[in-house]
């Protein structure tokens, strides 16, 4: 399987796992988080397009893992490497959201901002670990 194929598969599965974590987060007392709904609201498009964008972003991040991140991070422990990547993806996503917020309306957040940040970090770290384990680099 090529690195591109592995990246696409890892991006899809990693995004699905991250999304499941975000769906069960409210059951653990965290605020509701739905990146597809947020993307759709920001861009005034149907939620189905928000879902497509969410998974495309997950695939693009997985490609970034294979070609930019994994070759430069020297640890062989995939859990550590994936967790670091997930946290880096969280930081990158926050920067992109801030830039997008300059041009597009950001939907109002519900609940505690700290809980939202913790939940988002958790989701991205789970995504990163999933990607690292699937790609096995």
Cα dist from 91 to 29, 44, 125, whole Å: 23, 24, 11
Two tokens, residue 9 = 């598969």
Residue 113's pLDDT is: 83
**H or E stretch covering 39:** helix 35-43
Residue 90's pLDDT is: 96
Closest CA to 128 of 95, 92, 101: 92
Residue 7's pLDDT is: 96
Residue 26's pLDDT is: 86
pTM: 0.92
Two tokens, residue 61 = 């991040």
**Separation of alpha carbons 26 and 38, rounded Å:** 16
Cα dist from 71 to 2, 22, 125, 130, whole Å: 16, 29, 19, 17
Residue 79's pLDDT is: 96
Residue 111's pLDDT is: 75
**Separation of alpha carbons 39 and 82, rounded Å:** 25
Residue 51's pLDDT is: 97
Residue 105's pLDDT is: 80
**Separation of alpha carbons 54 and 37, rounded Å:** 9
From first to last of the 137 residues of the chain, give the pLDDT tens digit: 899 999 999 999 999 999 999 889 888 888 888 889 988 988 899 999 999 999 999 999 999 999 999 999 999 999 999 999 999 999 999 999 889 888 888 777 777 888 888 889 999 999 999 999 999 98
């Amino acid at each position: 399987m090529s690195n591109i194929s592995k990246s696409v598969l890892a991006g899809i599965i990693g995004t699905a796992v991250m999304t499941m974590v975000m769906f069960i987060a409210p059951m653990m007392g965290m605020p509701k988080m739905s990146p597809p709904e947020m993307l759709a609201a920001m861009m005034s498009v149907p939620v189905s397009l928000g879902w497509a964008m969410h998974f495309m972003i997950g695939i693009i991040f997985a490609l970034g893992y294979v070609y930019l991140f994994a070759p430069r991070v020297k640890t062989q422990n995939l859990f550590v490497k994936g967790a670091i990547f997930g946290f880096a993806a969280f930081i990158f996503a926050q920067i992109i959201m801030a830039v997008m917020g300059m041009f597009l309306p950001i939907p109002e957040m519900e609940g505690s901002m700290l809980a939202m940040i913790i939940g988002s970090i958790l989701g991205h770290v789970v995504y990163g670990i999933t990607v690292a384990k699937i790609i096995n680099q």
